[in-house]
A and B are shown apart, each in its own frame.
Chain A
């Protein structure tokens, strides 16, 4: 082939290869995460829809209470009632966010292979590690924070709605606002989403991402069948349920779910000292890291299907 090698070409190629070609890793990560949100609008639409449905139900409930002229509750009773609803709204929104996170993770590295867009993503200077990490950050940081924000907003709206309905009914509204420990509850909730949904669920999302990177088709089946098979074999062959119990504990989080405990007790079981000294957390994070490393490696080898 035509050979016209000259020193200038050589140096220009080399300098081009190294000098201004720097977009900071943080910026690439930012755009990778934004890209995920563009593609998966359900990430925020589903929790918002859950909140809207909940508020709608809550409004009807308030209207019925008002019309039936139910006996006036004491501020303490009001608080209990509101607290109960608070917890219900929180678990509804977070449950929906968890579901969305599962489906998101399962499709994250499978969908791009199915629609061949992986060839476009790989034509850009974004490493497989950045891509896989961005797809992990969305369910373990983005979704929990988002569901936290939506929950707090929902609860604030509930409080305002209650106040409006109770206005003029003789209930001391100032006392109501004072009694419902809004801030306290928010802190427990924030702590819960960041630790349980963020760190404790990390191996679950890691597993889903790995399956999503590997599955030749039907990632859903490949993700959920193996745990069932292991549970089944364990039960039939050895009459043990270690694996099942382990999975169950992983799903409910340390110290059981919020709903099972009363909120003040929950606060104490979730204190950082307890949570971070739990070996389950660290073992889980180690397993998550292994799953992720495999997912990164798989994405490197995988092309469109």
Chain B
């Protein structure tokens, strides 16, 4: 059973197509990073998964229809949608009381022990806390809920680097295990690279890349070559090329391509220059950037 199972998920706002037939399958125990430019449809997809917005197409989350059964689903799903959604008038102790009151899977003692590691006072009002502390509080609440699926939509936006690091560290060390699933969207992809198990790129309502991190590491190679070797490297048909300090950086997709019968491998590339795994951000630019280029060509013809 998939934790998330979507087929042909569509959502339109007037004439704008936010989700254009998305197929998505997430298994238990995965950490999926959903990466895309603004307006790519990431948040819409997450909202559909969380039962916050109606949609067309098939969607099941933990076997439930999120739009029809949101309140039951929320026993097993947690989300942090934004850094600033905790009610500002509430006291920290009230937030603990309230969540303990309404949530069957909330462990108050656990939340208190998470909070004890921070400088947050129980008597403080949320409006008195710094942005970083609010996120710590929200994370403490969410991590104390024994949920199956955790959805994070830009959870670290506007936080400084120390809070961001702490956020993902505690998520991995104190929360994640093989029976939980996490879906996260963020623009700060570099910090996620070593956390994710799965990667998905979205652009203009569609999924443009979907692979596990193992596939990502074995399939994509970033090659840095000196100008004299550049033509040889280009002959191997890189998917993307950019120039940095006079050297060429090329990204290759090692997936065997039947049409061109490409048969080079990592060693062949390494003989031309420095080969390594690209960063998620660079691969994203390569994948999405190529699509824009192809579209421009199509428009010109």
Contact = CB atoms under 8 A, between A and B. Distances in A.
A176 B28 CA distance: 76
A180 to B, nearest CB: 42
Interface in A9-64: 9-10, 12-14, 16-17, 20-23, 27-28, 30-32, 34-35, 38-39
Contact of A4 (B27, B54, B105): B27
Interface stretch (B85-93, B247-255, B263-271, B273-281): B85-93
25 contacts: A1-B32, A9-B28, A9-B179, A14-B1, A16-B76, A17-B63, A17-B72, A20-B104, A27-B102, A32-B102, A35-B94, A115-B88, A117-B85, A117-B88, A120-B138, A123-B74, A124-B74, A124-B99, A125-B72, A125-B74, A125-B102, A125-B103, A125-B104, A130-B71, A303-B47
Contacts of B284: none
A122 B72 CA distance: 11
Contact of B1 (A9, A35, A119, A124): A9
A119 B71 contact: no
A115 B88 CA distance: 8
Interface string B26-43: 111110100000000000
B14 interface: no
A70 interface: no
B103 A23 contact: yes
Given A1-B27, A13-B148, A126-B71, A115 B87 contact: yes
A279 to B, nearest CB: 36
Contacts of B298: none
Contacts of A35: 94, 98
A14 B63 contact: yes
A123 B90 contact: no
Interface in A123-146: 123-128, 130
B75 interface: yes
A3 interface: yes
Nearest to B179: A12
B219 interface: no
Contact of B89 (A21, A22, A32, A39): A39
Nearest to A123: B79
Which 5 residue pairs spanning A and B have beta carbons closest together?
Answer: A31-B101, A117-B87, A127-B71, A125-B74, A119-B85
A301 interface: yes
Contacts of B78: 123
B212 interface: yes
A108 to B, nearest CB: 13
A34 B90 CA distance: 12
Contacts of A34: 98, 101
Contact of A116 (B76, B85, B148): B85
A2 interface: yes
A303 B52 contact: yes
A170 interface: no
A11 B77 CA distance: 17
Given A17-B62, A119-B85, A122-B70, 16 more contacts: A1-B26, A1-B30, A5-B1, A9-B1, A17-B72, A21-B75, A23-B104, A27-B101, A38-B90, A116-B85, A119-B79, A122-B52, A124-B74, A126-B71, A130-B71, A304-B85
B101 A13 contact: no
A38 B94 contact: yes
B197 interface: yes
B112 interface: no
Given A2-B212, A17-B62, A127-B71, A39 B102 contact: no
Interface in B140-175: 148
Contact of B102 (A112, A116, A126, A303): A126
A116 B198 contact: no
Given A1-B212, A13-B62, A23-B102, A303 B76 contact: no
